Amino acid sequence: MCAETISPHRHDVLLVIDVQNDFCPGGALAVPQGDAVVPVINRLAAGFEHVVVTQDWHTPGHESFASSHPGHDPFSEITVAYGRQTLWPDHCVQDTNGAALHAGLALPGAELIIRKGFRREIDSYSAFFENDRKTPTGLGGYLRERGFQRLFCVGLALDFCVRFSAEDARKQGFETIVVESACRGINLEGSLNAALQSMRQAGVTLMQDAVLA
Ligand code: VGL
Ligand code: ZN
């Protein structure tokens, strides 16, 4: 893997997406090697003045859970009010251990934790807009008001929450970089390749690996 050197400056933010127990091995919606991102993110975070964290934060009985739709299996799709929605195993239920950030994350200076997916009827992959693509989380306004210009996105899962967050960040006018070595994907029916292609098309910069200068 070819590592690029980065020197974060004061208008840069490291956006750490959904590094939660349920997305790590042993969790309810485990991403293969999900926990491998933890030391990579910790190393990167040490070089950033500004770190923002997201947390998937669902109600019990959330609409995105297969268990809320009798007869439908996890990883199948249904149509809901806002369009197609993949159904997931119950995960990241508010205030449970599965929803907690991975204990190995060392982000003492994180300035904001933004929670998403907390409305029972709407899922939210993106850190900016929920899956109806209309309901804002407020993150765009926060980042603009703070004068940030460039976002480095890392975390889980590369083909869902990282992808949609990065694409929305770009649409919101932020220069957006995804560091792949600090992400892992679920890869549901080719979703990993689709995500990489879609992010490139959206103007997101993909870095295979990054080390601090
Ligand atoms: C995620 C599926 C469901 C993610 C969250 O963090 O990528 N994926 N909820
Ligand atoms: Zn979720």
Q: Ligand 1: distance of its center to the CA of 213 in Å? A: 31
CA quadruple 34, 133, 174, 127: dihedral, nearest 10: -40
CA quadruple 206, 34, 51, 159: dihedral, nearest 10: 40
Digit-by-digit pLDDT tens for the chain (213 residues) are 679 999 999 999 999 999 999 999 999 999 999 999 999 999 999 999 999 999 999 999 999 999 999 999 999 999 999 999 999 999 999 999 999 999 999 999 999 999 999 999 999 999 999 999 999 999 999 999 999 999 999 999 999 999 999 999 999 999 999 999 999 999 999 999 999 999 999 999 999 999 999
Q: Per the confidence metrics, is the pTM higher than 0.85?
A: yes
Nearest ligand to residue 17 Cα: 1
Choose among 8, 4, 6: nearest CA to 149. 8
Pocket of ligand 1 (CB under 6 A): 18, 23, 56, 88, 125, 156-157, 160-161
Q: Ligand 1: distance of its center to the CA of 155 in Å? A: 11
- Distance (Å, rounded) from C-alpha 60 to C-alpha 47? 37
| Closest CA to ligand 1's atom 2 | 160
Among 88, 131, 162, 188, which is best to mutate for testing ligand 1, by the most ligand atoms less than 8 A from CB? 88
CATH class of 3-59+91-212: alpha beta
Q: What does the domain layout of the chain look like in residue ranges?
A: 3-59+91-212
- Distance (Å, rounded) from C-alpha 182 to C-alpha 54? 15
